[in-house]
Amino acid sequence: MAPSTNSLDRTNYLNATKGFRSWFMTIDHKRLGLMYLWSVIGCFILGGFFAMKIRWTLTPGVTDFMTQTVEQMNAYNNAFTVHGAVMIFLVIIPSIPAALGNFVLPIMLGVKDVAFPKLNRLSYHLWLIGALLFVATLFIGNLDTGWTFYPPYSTGHTDVSVITAVLGAFVLGFSSIFTGLNFIVTIHKMRPPGMTWFKMPLFLWAIYATAIIQILATPVVGISLLLLLVEKTMQIGIFTPALGGDPVFFQHLFWFYSHPAVYVMILPGMGVMSELFATFSRKPIFGYKSIAMASIAIAILSFIVWGHHMFVSGQSETMSVIFSALTFSVAVPSAIKVFNWIATLYKGSIAFTTPMLYGLSIIWLFGIGGLTGMFHSTLGTSVHLHDTYFVVAHFHFVMVGSALFGFIGGIFYWWPKMYGRMAEGALSKWGCLLSFVGFNMTFLPLFPAGSRGMPRRYAGYTEAAGFDSYNMAATVGAVVLAVGLCMALYSLIRSLKHGEKAPANPWGGVTLEWQCTSPPPEHNFDIDPPTVDDPYDMTLVEWRGQEEGFLPKNPRSDDPCIADIQKA
């Protein structure tokens, strides 16, 4: 047998032990990462089902506005609530940090595992409990508060399904806090010799910035949700005026977490972008330090902009003005990152692989998502656009177009490392293209619909309101998007059996995860410790053909597998 850096025929982390228990009770960060990955994909399908239900209800001609029953309206209100809550709490927040972060972070640091492997397992088990509470909610009642759980509606005017949903979000919060804590400690204490802060891959900077938000902001939402439960179950007045509370107080507490949480969703996607653009341009990332510092700046500034969700809530005018100004400050580091990625392309050698296609799509999608954010930070326009479909389109461009596309791009990028097989091909590229086209078809028409006054969270619109053509375009787009996403998923699953065997470094990345075999051995590296160098000096590896992929130009003599190849 020819020597190879693919270890599917040898002992690796996938086949080292077998059985349900060996996975469910594992403390291996790679297995936990994969379990998160498949759980998140499962939840994404659930959330996607409700998205299609929303689009179906709003398709002109499907439901007649005048004869729509209260039951149909309640079902719609349930659909947008479950869609939002599942996609945010169970999909986007854990997607990149918990699934990809868990898999990649320790390998990027050249270590065997995270700092607290058992805490990591507890994170996953808590996540499962939170997810089960959400699923239970679907059977307990008709959750119809919107994912924001605003009182007094949530506490005094709807059924008990709020209790399980809020408990679910509370438990998921702990899962998120533990993961963040684990990553911060691991990055601080376990970086290999030679890896200074400014030699850290940018994905780790992004995960680190994310973890700061996770451990500082999530406890606040945990407490707020508990207060909500106290009010709902014991009638203690905290947020409901009839009981002596203040509903705007809840909005402050909620957005104090939920705005930073937006960056828990987008920062890791930005981290993936930096890796993709460097590797597939085969060039050091442009402006490494400013990208790293921008991540930290975004994490810090994200804590002081929450009031822009409340411009029409009745908060003081002075507060609104201050929050408007602060919101612009968070736009600058985001813009810097985009310019740096594009500059990285300049004079590079750009490979149009599936992960890079997702990366290039994000320039377009995040461009639109980011720029339309400025309409919302500007007070004059924000008041008009608040709670219309303009906002809906804006945050889908950021949450789906950027964070989710970043997640999928990251999956395709690290897939060869996870399963030792390539998912590249026409199918995966068409999946990306169709998703991109379908996404734009769905959400671009919703911008003018919103600025023309189409309010959110409506179970239907009269024909006279004039929103039918926008809704029709969005529904057609949603179908195209769904087909694209299914193709992407199918190409991944198909590759598990039929994909080409992947070498250790199929793309030419220089970060440490590309030095271990694909899939990695149980303890990540056969040699110890791996050599640490500039994470973006692409001249350290050279192309050796399809089978061998990229190999180090100056391999270490004690690396058994590479030494064999060099001899052969």
Partner 1 sequence: MNLLNLLALPQSGAETFWFPSQASTGASRVDDLFYFIFYVSLFAFIAIVVATIIFSLKYSRSRVGIEPEDSPHHSTKIEIVWSVIPALFMVAMFWYGFKDYVDRRNPPADSYQIEAISQKWSWTFNYPNGAITTGGNPAIDEGEGLVVPVNKPVVIRLESTDVLHSFFVPAFRAKMDAVPGRYNYVWFEATEIGEFPLYCAEYCGSKHSRMLATVKVVSQEDFDTWVVAAADDSDLSPEERGKKLFGAKGCIACHSVSGVAGIGPALDSLYGKEETLVDGTKVAVDDNYIRESLLDPQAKVVEGYANVPMTSFAGQLDDDDISAIIAYLKSLN
Which helix (DSSP H) or strand (DSSP E) does residue 295 occupy?
Answer: helix 288-301
CB 413 within 8 A of CB 355: yes
Determine, following the binding rule CB under 8 A, whether residue 235 of this chain makes contact with partner 1: no
**How far is it, in rounded angstroms, from Cα 462 to Cα 468?**
9
Q: How far is the CB of 333 from partner 1 (least distance, A)?
A: 9
Mark 368-385 as b/e (b = at least 16 C-beta within 10 Å).
Answer: bbbebbebbbebeebeeb
CA dihedral 43, 87, 131, 407 (to 10 degrees): 60
Determine, following the binding rule CB under 8 A, whether residue 246 of this chain makes contact with partner 1: yes
Segment contacting partner 1 (CB under 8 A): 150-158, 168-176, 197-205, 300-308? 150-158
Segment contacting partner 1 (CB under 8 A): 44-52, 206-214, 316-324, 418-426? 316-324
Segment contacting partner 1 (CB under 8 A): 32-40, 406-414, 447-455, 486-494? 447-455
Segment contacting partner 1 (CB under 8 A): 20-28, 252-260, 319-327, 490-498? 319-327
Residues 39, 123, 279, 388: which binds partner 1 (CB under 8 A)? 388
State which residue, 175 or 382, has the beta carbon closest to partner 1: 382
Give me the 508-547 binding string for partner 1, x by CB under 8 A, dash otherwise.
Answer: ----------------------------x------x----
Give me the 104-143 binding string for partner 1, x by CB under 8 A, dash otherwise.
Answer: ----------------------------------------
Please list every residue from 342 through 381 that binds partner 1, using CB under 8 A.
342-352, 360, 363-364, 367-368, 371-372, 374-375, 377-381
Q: What's the farthest any 2 CA atoms get from each other in the chain?
A: 80
Please identify which residue in the block is written with the tokens 């005018």.
317
**How far is it, in rounded angstroms, from Cα 283 to Cα 531?**
20
Determine, following the binding rule CB under 8 A, whether residue 241 of this chain makes contact with partner 1: yes
Give me the 247-286 binding string for partner 1, x by CB under 8 A, dash otherwise.
Answer: xx--------------------------------xxxxxx
Q: What type of residue is 9?
A: D
State which residue, 11 or 462, has the beta carbon closest to partner 1: 462
Q: How far is the CB of 127 from partner 1 (least distance, A)?
A: 28
Please list every residue from 52 through 81 that binds partner 1, using CB under 8 A.
66, 70, 73-74, 77
Please identify which residue in the block is written with the tokens 């929103």.
467
**How far is it, in rounded angstroms, from Cα 410 to Cα 104?**
10
State which residue, 220 or 362, has the beta carbon closest to partner 1: 362
Determine, following the binding rule CB under 8 A, whether residue 16 of this chain makes contact with partner 1: no
Q: What is the DSSP letter of 502?
A: P
Q: What type of residue is 359?
A: G
What 3-state DSSP class applies to 518?
strand
Task: Let me know if 66 is exposed, middle or buried by CB neighbors in 10 A (0-12, 13-18, 19+).
Answer: exposed
Residues 42, 194, 314, 560: which binds partner 1 (CB under 8 A)? 314
Total residues binding partner 1 (CB under 8 A) = 94
Q: What type of residue is 166?
A: V
Residues 188, 189, 384, 556: which binds partner 1 (CB under 8 A)? 384
State which residue, 38 or 198, has the beta carbon closest to partner 1: 198
Please list every residue from 453 through 472 that binds partner 1, using CB under 8 A.
453, 455-462, 465, 469
Segment contacting partner 1 (CB under 8 A): 190-198, 218-226, 243-251, 479-487? 243-251
**How far is it, in rounded angstroms, from Cα 172 to Cα 127?**
5
Through-space distance between the first and last CA atoms of the chain, rounded to whole angstroms: 11
Q: How far is the CB of 80 from partner 1 (least distance, A)?
A: 9
Radius of gyration, alpha carbons of the chain: 24
Please identify which residue in the block is written with the tokens 């003081």.
316
**Strand 541-543 relative to strand 550-552, pairing:** antiparallel
Q: How far is the CB of 424 from partner 1 (least distance, A)?
A: 14
CB 432 within 8 A of CB 489: no
